[in-house]
Amino acid sequence: MATINSFEELDIWQLGREICKDVWDKFENKSLGKDFELKNQMNRSSGSIMDNIAEGFERNGRREFINFLSYSKGSCGELRSQLFRAFDRNHISKEEFEFLKEKTITESKKIGSFMAYLVKSDHKGSKFDK
């Protein structure tokens, strides 16, 4: 496997960034943007996906990274639940809902696969290199 030098190179971070942008786009000139509580929750959970990947990577330790990836994966589920609320309140269309739901499911699976890879890896991270 190639060496990753920054979190920005990770596919899971890039997809998390896309999801965050896609969610933000739903707030523009729509009723969802006026549902301030749900908007804030969705903004935080979508941002948390990419932010926890970045923070875990920057900690330079495998176990910490896995822990932060777990938070990120949890944020995918949180956002998916919020998408149901947005759809049920008629803030987003069925197509928008399905598109974002599938993206969060894909992201969750990719994060889970990466976590499984890290668990099996012998690399401990530069924090523990002597």
Domains and CATH numbers, the chain: 33-124 (1.20.1440.60)
pLDDT score of 91:
95
**Distance (Å, whole) CA 101 – CA 10:** 21
Does 127 score more than 60 pLDDT? Answer: no
Report residue 46 CA to chain centroid gap: 6
pLDDT at 120 over 60: yes
CA 17 – CA 126 distance, rounded (Å): 25
What residue spans of 1-130 are helical by DSSP H? 11-25, 36-58, 62-88, 94-120
- Looking at every residue in the chain, the average pLDDT score rounds to 93
| Measured distance CA(55)–CA(16) in Å, rounded | 13
How sure is the predictor about 118, in pLDDT bands with cuts at 50, 70 and 90? very high
pLDDT at 129 over 80: no
pLDDT tens sequence across 60-105: 899 999 999 999 999 999 999 999 999 999 999 999 999 999 999 9
